[in-house]
Amino acid sequence: MAEETTTPAIQLPDATKLVVSNSPHIRGNETISKVMVQVLLALLPAAIAAVWFFGLAALKVMVLCTVGCIAVEEIWNKCTKRATTWKDGSAAITGLLLAMNLSSGTPWWICILGCLLAIILGKQLFGGLGFNPFNPALVARVALLIGFPSLMTSWVAPTPGNLTVCDAMTGATPLGAQGEAVASLADLFSGNVGGCLGETSALALLLGGAFLIVRKLIKWQVPAAFIGTVVVISGLVHAINPEITQTPIYHVLAGGLLIGAFFMATDMVTSPMTAKGALIFGCGCGLITSVIRIWGGYPEGVSFSILFMNALTPLIDRYTIGKPFGYIRVKKEAA
């Protein structure tokens, strides 16, 4: 006969199912892909602005590069028998950033070539995410710039609101003509000028940049030092002789300074880890950019400056190691 059921027995954990591992036993809910998705979100305003000003041609370039980078990364992973990594979001960011560095008139095969250069040359050959010393999107941009100088420096004039525009009309880049403004500050701020997809709208970039800083996805020290240095140097030179260069505000708004300072120089993998290192890194970028822009042969020094500073990152990291807590012998007590 079945026994009467009494109060249910107290249930204890099954000891054989208990996991033994190191502390800490709880973790924050941050993951690589969450970080990357937020960076992608931050690029959204700039992407929307690009489509607004350059039409669906811009969208085409962005989709091509993003999907292209993901595809190249996966094919590489397959060929080298690695685990798939596209879900971490880093390839998508590289793709979108690459697109931001191209004009809407860029032929499709340049886009794909850029993806190959970015993912394979810029990232996977070094061992993949976390091991690449240079920002992959910039590696691709600079390689393309050297390989196809004329293609890479012909710009499409903006056609705000007209989404269907696809044919490339070449216009001057605002930084191309030295000392001579080709666009009004208002146009530069909104993005109504020719240039790379992501270079044009200062407004959209500032929105994204603010998001990155507020969410602590980047160190504010990098853009602050980068832009600050450019402002100071161009301001000084402009004050001494306005013939040589534009006003500092023009320097900030025109060209790739904002996207470079907020989105490219701040790439975690390739910039210093400490706050002090980030300041030095940003100042270095600003200095090199100013020098190239004002006295160099290229109108645009942002990409070169970031790549150059990327190379110095390990050095900066090494020499900015601070003193740990308690390094000083007992401090005098404040009365």
**Is the preceding peptide bond at 24 cis, omega within 30 degrees of 0?**
yes
Q: How far apart are the first and last CA of the chain?
A: 83
Residues 6+ apart with CB under 8 A from 270: 132, 133, 134, 135, 310, 313
d(CA 270, CA 306): 9
**268 makes contact with another protein (CB under 8 A):** yes
Q: Is the alpha carbon torsion for 298, 302, 306, 307 positive or negative?
A: negative
* Phi and psi angles of residue 70, each rounded to the nearest 5 degrees, phi first: -60, -45
> Is 34 a residue that touches another protein (CB under 8 A)?
yes
Interface residue with another protein, options 2, 7, 28, 109 (CB under 8 A): 28
* Residue 130 binds to another protein (criterion: CB under 8 A): yes
Q: Which amino acid is at 85?
A: T
Q: Does 219 bind another protein (CB under 8 A)?
A: yes
Query: Based on CB atoms, which residue is closest to another protein, 27 or 81?
Result: 27
Report the alpha-carbon distance of residue 278 to residue 325 in Å, rounded. Answer: 20
Contact assessment for residue 128 and residue 85, using Cβ atoms and an 8 Å cutoff: yes
Q: Which is nearer to another protein, 17 or 81 (CB)?
A: 17
Tokens of 155: 């710009």
Min dist. Cβ of residue 101 to another protein (A): 21
CB of 16 to another protein, least distance (A): 8
CB of 308 to another protein, least distance (A): 18
Handedness of CA 138, 139, 142, 148 (dihedral sign): negative
Q: Is position 2 an interface residue for another protein (rule: CB under 8 A)? A: no
Q: Are strands 155-156 and 170-171 parallel, antiparallel or unpaired?
A: antiparallel
Identify which of residues 49 and 129 has a Cβ nearer to another protein in the complex: 129
Instruction: Please name which of 279, 260, 286, 287 lies closest in space to residue 138, comparing C-alpha atoms.
Output: 260
Question: Which residue in the set 4, 17, 79, 80 belongs to the binding site for another protein (CB under 8 A)?
Answer: 17
Return the residue of 18, 79, 146, 186 that touches another protein, per CB under 8 A. Answer: 18
Among 1, 20, 146, 186, binds another protein (CB under 8 A): 20
**Using rule CB under 8 A, residue 35 touches another protein:** yes
Interface characters, 109-128, with another protein (x: CB under 8 A): -------------------x
Q: Least distance from C-beta 10 to another protein, angstroms? A: 4
Q: Residue 25, interface with another protein (CB under 8 A)?
A: yes
Give me the residue label for tokens 């909104």.
190
> Smallest Cα–Cα separation from 140: which of 154, 163, 124, 161?
124
Please report, for the chain, how many H helices and E strands are present, in that order. 13, 2
In the list 48, 157, 210, 269, the residue contacting another protein (rule: CB under 8 A) is 269
Q: How far is the CB of 140 from another protein (least distance, A)?
A: 19
The answer to whether residue 203 forms part of the interface with another protein (CB under 8 A) is: no
For another protein, the closer of residues 14 and 243 by Cβ is 14
How is residue 53 annotated by DSSP?
H
Distance between CA atoms of residues 134 and 271, nearest Å = 9
Whole-angstrom distance, CA of residue 85 vs CA of residue 71:
11
Rounded least distance, CB 240 to another protein, Å:
38
Note whether 21 binds another protein by CB under 8 A: yes
The reply to whether 13 sits near another protein by the rule CB under 8 A is yes
**Chain position carrying tokens 């990327």:** 310
Query: Which of 22, 241 has the CB closer to another protein?
Result: 22
Q: Which residues pair with 170 in a beta bridge?
A: 156
Among 5, 23, 80, 150, the residue binding another protein under the rule CB under 8 A is 23
Shortest Å, Cβ 24 to another protein: 3
Question: Which residues are at the interface with another protein (CB under 8 A)?
Answer: 10-28, 30-32, 34-35, 88, 90, 128-131, 219, 268-271, 273-274, 317, 321-331, 333-334
